[in-house]
Amino acid sequence: MKRLLLLTSLIALVPLAAARSLSDIQASGTIRIGTEAAYAPFTYYQGKKLTGFEIELAEAIAKQMGLKVEWIDKPFDSLLIGLGQDRFDFVIASHGITAERQKAATFASPHYCSGGLIVVKKGGPKTAAALKGKTVAVQVGTTYYDQLKKLGGLKDVKTYPQNTDALQNLRAGRVDALVSDRFAGLEALKKDQTLEAGELLFQERIGMAVAKNNPGLAKALSAALKKVQANGTYTKISKKYFGEDIRCE
């Protein structure tokens, strides 16, 4: 019994691992970045290669800081928690900057601006008003879930581990609509002519997150972002994936 108690108290201590400061990271030469690699065109696998807008942008930012990169691919809803457990130094995974999340993590300046887009099979409910009484799919742990709950009047909001699962269920006709990132939604549309875009439900600013109380690292990320935005690197990567520059105005 005593042993069991000791074990449970040790487990309770795990989340308290301290984050590495900027100088710890600089001394090691490598920055560990957490993401969820199932969110094209931001973070995904092309064969065995991790790629996408946020992958290339984070690598440009690390290079600007003189650091090598170690990527860690984890489920989306575990990423901000993982920061508190020192599993990675920062996460880049299309996180909308919200007051709720700012209680648990510190965000760098936004690296793009986007919003929650309704995606349907042709003929489906395309406006917030048309979603009343309908079943809508979202990825678990996303701002889309909160926004849809706020909207109210829906029949159900179904959550899926990955956005790709939510999309599959839309295709299969198990839900009436999907809400995802605007650019991720438009990417899905390119690959499937049976889908169409509806209204943009809300807008959000997307940022990289570091552990709470690691503001030095957040500042350094923001400064490196500013440099790659000033020297043409950001525009080049953004145009490659979107045909336009998606930075916040």
Per CB under 6 A, residues contacting ligand ARG are 36, 39, 43, 76, 93-96, 139, 142-143, 163, 181
Q: Quick check: 135 and 158 in contact, CB under 8 A?
A: yes
Instruction: Give the nearest distance from C-beta 59 to ligand ARG in angstroms.
Output: 17
Instruction: Give the nearest distance from C-beta 42 to ligand ARG in angstroms.
Output: 6
Instruction: Give the nearest distance from C-beta 247 to ligand ARG in angstroms.
Output: 16
* Of 33 and 93, CB closest to ligand ARG: 93
Instruction: Give the nearest distance from C-beta 205 to ligand ARG in angstroms.
Output: 10
Instruction: Give the nearest distance from C-beta 98 to ligand ARG in angstroms.
Output: 7
Find the length of the chain.
249
* Of 22 and 167, CB closest to ligand ARG: 167
* Of 39 and 53, CB closest to ligand ARG: 39
* Of 31 and 97, CB closest to ligand ARG: 97
Instruction: Give the nearest distance from C-beta 119 to ligand ARG in angstroms.
Output: 13
* Of 28 and 78, CB closest to ligand ARG: 78
* Of 64 and 143, CB closest to ligand ARG: 143
Instruction: Give the nearest distance from C-beta 43 to ligand ARG in angstroms.
Output: 6
CA–CA dist 113, 81 (Å, integer): 23
* Of 76 and 234, CB closest to ligand ARG: 76
CA–CA dist 152, 70 (Å, integer): 41
3-state secondary structure the chain: CHHHHHHHHHHHHHHHCCCCCHHHHHHHCEEEEEECCCECCCEEEECCEEECHHHHHHHHHHHHCCCEEEEEECCHHHHHHHHHCCCCCEECCCCECCHHHHCCEEECCCCEEEEEEEEEECCCCCCCHHHCCCEEEEECCCHHHHHHHHHCCCCEEEEECCHHHHHHHHHCCCCCEEEEEHHHHHHHHHHCCCEEEEEEEEEEEECCEEECCCHHHHHHHHHHHHHHHHCCHHHHHHHHHHCCCCCCC
